[in-house]
Chain A
Amino acid sequence: MAENGNILEMKNVVYSFHTYGGEVKAVRDVSFEVRKGEILGIVGESGCGKSVTAQCIMRLNPEPPGFFEGGAIMFNGKNVLEMSKKELRKLRGEDIGFVFQDPMTSLNPTMRVGAQIEEVFLGRTDVTKQEVKEKALEIMKLVGISDVEKRYKQYPHELSGGMKQRVMIAIALVSRPGLVICDEPTTSLDVTIEAQILDLLLELREKLGMSIIMITHDLGVIARMCDRVIVMYGGKIVEKGTVQEIFYDTAHPYTKGLIGSIAKLDTRKGERLQSIEGTPPDLFFPPKGCPFAARCAYAMDVCKDEPPYQYRLSDEHSTNCWLQHEYAPDTDMKKKNAAAIEGKKEGEVKADE
């Protein structure tokens, strides 16, 4: 554990893919940290780079075509990018758990459930077969699977969707990792099952004290689960802060648009949903300035040409948006105490000083 209490630190990570069409810049200069025991949400639309970011942490993206252009990922003080194959195996198997989006396709259909949970311990000499089985049964009970002895011997096709997702969680947790990454864990499930799984994750966090990175496009899930939130757009972080700050003191027009575009239970009938016009940017040719400029109702000339500075609004809350600049016009997005903390050192960026 790093002395500052962060289990994971992403530092200026840039990740791209070589494709026939050219280089896709999926993650562009992303930095954040995950603290011990917290639930960090990453929210954004499809193609915003949230899943690639998560998979970078465990280096699950196939390389090639994927490659790091820069940055560092520090897990418990060690740089993941410099790890040997053996260390990476340990990282993926023991230190970080990963819950994939689609339990129907992520489980191996030809292996019994028990064997898949135990797979993590393959090749380990310090545990006996009996101990491994006990561990598997214990974790299955913990994730709320009933009748564990029977389920242990079943194949994935014999289980329902919610049960399969519980098995996925069991696989991620069996080695008691310090960090669990959940990539859209409830997207393919019904609301009633989704509620069960989300409650289960909260309960497991209480019991086991692990950190969770929750990747989702659903703001409802974020509101319910997370302590802190990162909003991503076009491969960049546009806003981060505590869940309260993001929802009640929104500082980026994209976040505002995202919150405004969902129909809530108390949205009145006649009220129009505020939609964000246009479509997300093409990451083959990412825009020079702010990725959201083309769709932003507040966009100024500078937004299209220069990437915005990061402005700090409180200890946790920061946003990458020119509207917080001292010379920017007064809009409802502008916060009083904004202070630029990043970007100024980038030499040629002169903006409007």
Chain B
Amino acid sequence: MSNNEKQPLVQVKDVCKYFHVGKNADLKAVDHVSFEIYKGETVGLVGESGCGKSTMGRCMIRLYEPTSGEVIYDGKDITKLTGAEKKEFCKKVQMIFQNPYASLNSRMTVKEIVGEGLREHGMPAKDADVKVQELLEIVGLNKDHMSRFPHEFSGGQRQRIGIARALSVDPDFIICDEPISALDVSVQAQVINMLKDLQSERGLTYLFIAHDLSVVKYISDRVIVMYLGTVVETAETEELYGNTLHPYTKALLSAIPEADPDRAKSNKRILIKGEIPSPINPKNCCRFAERCAYATDRCFNEMPKLREVKPGHKVACHLVEE
């Protein structure tokens, strides 16, 4: 593992993921997406449902095979790993899933769920039990919970079990796919605080997939905004929220319901018309054009490229010219 800050831990290069949905019909869930994630940082990936953010996350851990493109983890392309390398990769990269009710096997006890990865990687059952106990304590549960089944826990506790499972193999990189959106507000804060603590203790790198822009701002160092399978804007968090360039990001930010009545009632929102269009065989133009208030003819004819307009701030929009 390189300690060099500038060495990216994960490089996503021109990844596409298409699903065949009929004759001559491709659902372009992820379309030519590229970005890097550096060691120790948290990258937020945001967008509306159907924008391809979860598919992107799943491509990075090989739950999906990308249609084309490369995902390079620590210098190796993960789409071309051999059997033994694959196993090693599974130890390095883990995932926390959105729905803690669906992502835990209801027929397994907590001990079996959390310890499954450990046993799979050859740890004797006795050692695994000790480790499971440690892990549960780290996430705020205790050893009495080991022999229980998932249905005996609340949503927040289940998400903690999911986090313990992800931590069991001592990964370096965790993909958090909407880890808090199924939880109650007061419990969300517990889980976010815990994720932050774990990061500072273990030097973890996170890809934080979410649709809640306030949470993403709070937890991320950098943010990537996706729309209909493409990246529309990416920048450091402060830069993105302070100096928003893409019309979609602007609209998305202004749509957040703010928990402050005076501000919420005076806030001028940029409403975007209509809804996210179908990702099946999209036109080869700016994907946001038909909902954009500033769209010109060029937007309907030419696909904008993701260009760096400031160091670290990239945006895909024809209207943003220096």
Interface pair A191/B48, CB less than 8 Å apart: yes
B155: which A residues are within 8 A, CB to CB?
46
**With a CB–CB cut-off of 8 A, which chain A residues contact B260?**
223, 247, 264
Distance in angstroms from A263 CB to nearest chain B CB is: 4
Q: Which residue of B lies closest to A195 (CB)?
A: B255
A163 contacts across to B, CB distance below 8 A:
275
* B188 surroundings in chain A (CB, below 8 A): 261-262
CB distance B261 to A244 under 8 Å? yes
Contact, CB under 8 Å: A261 / B186: yes
Q: Is the CB of B257 within 8 A of A265?
A: no
A280 to B156, CA, bound (A): 11
Q: Does A190 count as interface, using CB distance less than 8 angstroms? A: yes
How far in angstroms is the closest Cβ of chain B from A159? 10
B272 within 8 A of A: yes
Q: Of the candidates A192, A223, A247, A279, which one forms a contact with B252 in the assembled complex, judged by CB atoms under 8 Å apart? A: A192
Partner of A258 from the list B156, B186, B258 (CB cut-off 8 Å) is B186
**Residue A199 lies at the interface, judged by CB distance under 8 Å to chain B:** yes
- Min Cβ gap B10→A in Å is 22
* Contact indicator B213/A193 (Cβ below 8 Å): no
A47's closest neighbor in chain B, by CB? Answer: B184
Q: Given A191-B211, A195-B271, A247-B259, are A217 and B185 neighbors across the interface (CB < 8 Å)?
A: yes
Interface centre among B49, B259, B271 (most CB of A within 10 A): B259
A329 to B276, CA, bound (A): 54
Whether, in the assembled complex, B264 has its beta carbon less than 8 Å from a beta carbon of chain A, the answer is yes
Instruction: For the complex, count residues of B whose C-beta is within 8 A of A.
Output: 46
In the complex, residue of chain B having the shortest beta-carbon distance to the beta carbon of A188: B49
> Contact check: which of B185, B189, B211, B271 meets A199 at CB < 8 Å?
B271
A273: interface (CB < 8 Å): yes
Is B214 part of the binding interface, using a Cβ–Cβ cutoff of 8 Å? yes
Residues of chain A within 8 A (CB-CB) of B185 are 45, 217-219, 258, 261-262
Check A273 against B271 for contact (C-beta < 8 Å).
no
B237: nearest chain-A partner, CB-CB:
A269
B256 touches A265 (CB 8 A): yes
Is the CB of B72 closer than 8 A to any CB of chain A? no
Q: Is A267 engaged at the interface, CB distance under 8 Å to the other chain?
A: yes
Question: In the bound complex, do residue A262 and residue B214 qualify as a contact, i.e. CB atoms below 8 Å apart?
Answer: yes
Q: Say yes or no: A265-B48 contact (C-beta < 8 A), given A195-B269, A274-B189.
A: no
Closest beta carbon of chain A to B272's beta carbon, Å? 5
* Per-position 1/0 for A192-210, Cβ under 8 A of B: 1111101100000000000
The 7 closest A-B pairs by CB, nearest first: A220-B257, A275-B189, A261-B189, A263-B218, A219-B259, A273-B189, A195-B255
B residues contacting A by CB (< 8 A) are: 48-49, 154-157, 184-190, 192-193, 196, 211-215, 217-219, 237, 241, 251-265, 269, 271-272, 275-276
